[in-house]
Amino acid sequence: MRVVIDPNLLVSYLLTHRGPIAQILDVHLAREDFTLLVCPQLLEELDRVLQYAKFQRYFNDETRLRFVALIAALGELAGVPDELPRVVRDPKDDYLIACALTGEADFIISGDKDVLDLQTVGRIQIVSARYFVDETVGKPDEEGILKEVRDAAEGSDVQT
């Protein structure tokens, strides 16, 4: 599964380290449940927003730079064309769609209403962090669980 995460959620993660975005990054990305897709525009936007004066009391420049570098290192770089398709109401968000399309994403996770209102672009689902946790990575793999039970039963010495 391939995923683009909107920088607004990454900022939220750095500021609060709580909620569904924390679960997505701390649990599911760490477990490699999905591939994080990034593009230069996403990393630039993340760095730019983290430099806002209102965020400066929460972390210093070194933390900001390390966080952006960490997201870059954890992600797979997707190229984005110079000419972006006009898809989102706010054209500043069109790079997210382009990143997802070129990176062959399955999901865009966002907290931005304009992005979420699209719901899908091609085969790419656009969802909230809560939806992604509850309906995607948080759902048990029933077939996988059944296979584990069958395998365990076959390997046991219990006579029936």
Chain-centre distance for alpha carbon 83: 24
Q: Where are the domains of the chain?
A: 2-155
Roughly what angle, to the nearest 10 degrees, separates helices 40-50 and 7-16? 40
pTM, rounded to two decimals: 0.83
> Is 2-155 CATH 3.40.50.1010?
yes
d(CA 44, CA 34): 22
Q: Which residues of the chain have pLDDT under 50?
A: 142-147, 156-160
For residue 137, the model assigns a pLDDT of 81
